[in-house]
Structure formats: C-alpha cells, structure tokens
Amino acid sequence: MDFLNNIVLGLDTAFSATNLLYCFAGVFLGTAIGVLPGLGPVPTIAMLLPITYTLDPVTAIIMLAGIYYGSQYGGSTTAILVNLPGESSSVVTCLDGHEMAKRGRAGVALAIAALGSFFAGTVATLVIAGFAPSLANFALEFGAPDYFSLVVLGLVSAVILAHGSILKAFASMLLGIILGLIGTDSISGASRYTFGVVELFDGIEFVAVAMGFFAFSEIIRNLSSPASRDIVATKIINVWPNLSDFRKSWKPVLRGTALGSLLGVLPGGGATLSSWTSYALEKRLSSHPEEFGKGAIEGVAGPEAANNAGAQTSFIPMLTLGIPSNGVMAMMVGAMMIHSIVPGPSIIEKEPALFWGLIVSMWIGNLMLIVLNMPLIGLWVKLLKVPYDIMFPFIVVVCCVGIYSIKGGVFDIYMAAIFGVFGFLFSKLECEPAPLLLGFILGPMMEENFRRALLISRGEFSIFVTSPVSCVLLLLAVTLLMVVVAPSIRRRRKEAFAEES
C-alpha cells in the first residue's frame, strides 16, 4: 500500500491550483521557446529558469519539468514543419516527419507525435514510480569510493556519447571540472583560482555557464546561418490520423516506449540516444524499409515515443543518485541547487512531496502537451513566422535579466558573456559543450568523494577496486571506453553519427 500512499501524496501535491497553473505555464512557455528553430531544451531551460526563482521549490521543479517536455515537443513541431531541428533528438523526426508534411500530412505527423509521446510518457512515469525508490534504497548504501566511481562512469558515458572527437569531448569535460574548482575549497577553506576576485569566492554561477555556452552561442550560430524558413503547411487541415495510420503506428510506439524507458536510465542516455535507436530498429523491422525517409509514419511514431520515454526516465539517475546523465539533466540539477534541493538517494525520504508531486506532474505535463498542442498548432506556426531579428534581441535581453536576478548583481552577466565567447570558440573548433556542463556539475562531487575515499583507506588507491560496487562501476567505465576506442567499432560509430549530421 506504500505505493498507493505515495501516489496519493503525489496527486495531492500536483493537483494544487498553483502547481497545476505553473505546470501549464511551463509546458506552454517551453513549447513556445522550443518551437523556435535552433533552440533545444538546454537553452530553453536556461532562458526560462529565472521565472522560477521566486516560486516555492516544489512548484519550481514541476514548472521546469513542464518546460522540458514543452521544449522537447516544440522541437518536434519545428522539425516536422520547417525541417529545422532544435536539438539532436529532433533530427530523427525531421527525416520522415518533414516528408509527411511535404505530402500535406503535417497535421497527422504532429498528432501521432503527440499521441505517441503521451503514451510513452504515461508508461515512463509508471517506470519511474516503480523503479526509482528501489534504486534510491540501493544507493543509500553507497560509500565514498562507490560514488566516485559512479561519477567516473557518468562522465565517461557523457564523453563517449558526445558528437565528434572523443578526445575533445574529454578535454571539454575536464575543463568543466576545472571551472567547478573555482571558489573556496570546502574542506581546507583555501580559495582556488579566484585571482582575488571577491565575487568568485562562492564559485562560478551555474546559470552563467549554461547561458554562455548554450543560449548565447546558440544565438550566434543562428545569426550566421540564415535560416531558410519554408514552412510547409501554413494551414493544417487534417489533424486526425486515420485507422491505417493507427494500425501502422501502435507497434512502433510500444517498441519505442520500451526502448526509451530502458535507454533513458543509462548514464549518457536520454532522449537523443533513444530516438536514434528506435528509428534504426523500426527501419530494420519494417516490411517496407524503402519508405523510411520518404514519409513513413512509423519513422515518426517510434522515435517520438522513444525520445519522450527516454526524456522521462533520465530523471531516475538524476533524482535518485544525483548523477545527471545528459546536458538537460545537468540543467535540472543546477536548477534544483538554486532552490537548495540536493538530488540524491535521500531525496525520496526527505522531500516526498517534491518527489511524488514531480512524478504525478510529469504525467499531467504530458497530458497538457496533447491538450495544448492539438488545438494550438496554428499559434506555434505563427510563432515560427516571427522574424529572427525581433526574436534574438528579445532572447538576449531575457537571458541577461535572468542572470541578473539570481543574485541581484551584474557580475554574473559579465561571466556569462565571457563563457559565451568560449562557447562560440567551442562551436568553431567543433568541441561539444555538453560534457563541460556535466563536468561542472559533477566535478565538486567527484573531488569530495575522491578525497573522502582516500582518507578512509589511508591513501591506498586500491580502495576503488576492493569495494565491489565501485569495482563494477569502474570496470563498466573501462569497458565502455575500450569498446568505443576499438577501431572497428569506432568506424561504425562514425557511420552512425554521419547519418545525423
């Protein structure tokens, strides 16, 4: 009956008028920003984060989750209508979704995406509710060496799954750890890398890093690539899929949901990995693979379900272990820390209302996505037509106001501008910023557990292999690295990503 009690607590929290309102606002605003071409979930969350500062922590997290789903779905809408993916998981949707739109079936593609996502979201929510508490219980037993190895595994996965050069992804991750070092050392009290700047004693503000590397550099990238905006369907007439569409889609949706739920939990996994895997699977299983890329509805239904399921279940390691598995979850951890909530194994016991409320809100958020998107597609299409020269100064200003309002000072805006320059440099040099964000979030945790583990073992490094959990995690990390660095598989990986870009 524990499970039922928890769900009741969750319903109680989520159905309060304020939380419902902010969940709705989150989904709405998330979709509104997410439909803008080139803006994926990470910059969207970074941009909208300031709205949540003044809210109660539970409400804030519920709203942020809503923003996340909204931006994810908004990205799919843009992918289908304009063939401009906001982020890599929507690239898959472009392949067949945009082809469908060209054939006058934009409405059907959008509807199947929404319905598939809703189904996947519902299942994934149940997976979280069932799975997260036991994982958290297991993790409660973790000692310092186990945590250190868990962080290593998380970082290694993030590096491996980044696009392009693994070496540069590694360097980017280490740079993130170094940025996380700046400030006062929590154990000795010595100030590190502050160069005498008083504002740096508390460390670098997470939002400044996220805005600089994601929002600002994204704006510049969009400025320099004049977006050809041939919106295919100005009027979407037929929204409802017919019976044959449903018959073709239900199996891909089921498979996508299962795949996504599984892959989302893995470190480094999440929406992008899920949707790509699902697309490849559907193409292989299809009796008419030649139709893929030419408007096959299975190619929209499967990946859309998978990316939503993956987006959902990637909350599991973030909430229960405190280890974000991708850039978006790193944003969520950063956001939670601003509200002084530290995700980790004890969060379910310490903040049951937050945890279960969030889970029920995930489902409500998915429901709102359908309610919002089916009738409001016309509005999103209009938003897509707003000229970019109006949009980008607006985004710049909103970001600046957001950074200012964290501490009520302009120092962090200067920092964000500097990180923006680095972000621009990164995109020119083809370095991925996502591992950097993860390194920044996980670095302090890594150092703390590293120091504690070696204090316990009296300086013996063998503690990382004599503790069974730590040993397994480290072995996993090493295996992952070996697999990717091995030449034959590296070639295949290259092929897989070549399709993407």
Residues lying near other proteins in the complex (CB under 8 A) are found at: 50-51, 53-54, 165, 167-168, 170-171, 174-175, 177-178, 181, 185, 187-188, 190, 192-193, 216, 219-220, 223-224, 388-390, 392-394, 396-401, 404-405, 408, 410, 413-414, 416-417, 420-421, 424-425, 428-431, 447, 450-451, 454-455, 458-459, 461
CA 382, chain centre distance (Å): 26
310-to-246, 256, 337, 481 alpha-carbon distances in Å: 22, 9, 23, 23
Residue 14 or 383: the one with the smaller Cβ distance to other proteins is 383
H or E segment and range at residue 347: helix 347-350
Structure tokens at 232: 């295919």
Q: How far is the CB of 400 from other proteins (least distance, A)?
A: 4
Residue 191 or 286: the one with the smaller Cβ distance to other proteins is 191
Residue 294 or 451: the one with the smaller Cβ distance to other proteins is 451
Q: How far is the CB of 90 from other proteins (least distance, A)?
A: 24
Residue 140 or 223: the one with the smaller Cβ distance to other proteins is 223
Q: How far is the CB of 183 from other proteins (least distance, A)?
A: 11
CA atoms of 243 and 190, how far apart (whole Å): 67
Residue 103 or 428: the one with the smaller Cβ distance to other proteins is 428
Residue 50 or 343: the one with the smaller Cβ distance to other proteins is 50
| Site of tokens 């998981």 | 89
Q: How far is the CB of 479 from other proteins (least distance, A)?
A: 20
- Taking the CA of residue 347 as centre, how many other CA atoms within 13 Å lie in the half-sphere pointing to its CB? 27
DSSP string, 349-410: HH-HHHHHHHHHHHHHHHHHHHHHHHHHHHHHHHHHTS-HHHHHHHHHHHHHHHHHHHHTSS
Q: Fill in the DSSP letter of residue 182.
A: -
CA atoms of 97 and 74, how far apart (whole Å): 13
Q: How far is the CB of 30 from other proteins (least distance, A)?
A: 17
- From the number of C-beta atoms within 10 Å of its C-beta (0-12, 13-18, 19+), residue 451 rates as middle
Q: How far is the CB of 393 from other proteins (least distance, A)?
A: 4
Q: How far is the CB of 328 from other proteins (least distance, A)?
A: 24
Give yes or no for a contact between 323 and 151, defined as CB atoms under 8 angstroms apart: yes
Residue 48 or 124: the one with the smaller Cβ distance to other proteins is 48
Phi, psi of 351 (to 5 degrees): -125, 60
Closest Cα to residue 180, out of 1, 443, 373?
Answer: 443
Closest Cα to residue 50, out of 487, 421, 397, 299?
Answer: 397
CA atoms of 242 and 108, how far apart (whole Å): 8
Residue 169 or 318: the one with the smaller Cβ distance to other proteins is 169
Residues 474-486 as b or e (16 or more Cβ within 10 Å = b): bebbeebbeeeee
| Site of tokens 């120091």 | 451
In sign, the C-alpha dihedral spanning 175, 179, 180, 185 is positive
Q: How far is the CB of 173 from other proteins (least distance, A)?
A: 9
Q: How far is the CB of 34 from other proteins (least distance, A)?
A: 20
Residue 58 or 175: the one with the smaller Cβ distance to other proteins is 175
CA atoms of 204 and 475, how far apart (whole Å): 33
Residue 284 or 487: the one with the smaller Cβ distance to other proteins is 487
- Taking the CA of residue 485 as centre, how many other CA atoms within 13 Å lie in the half-sphere pointing to its CB? 12
Q: How far is the CB of 458 from other proteins (least distance, A)?
A: 5
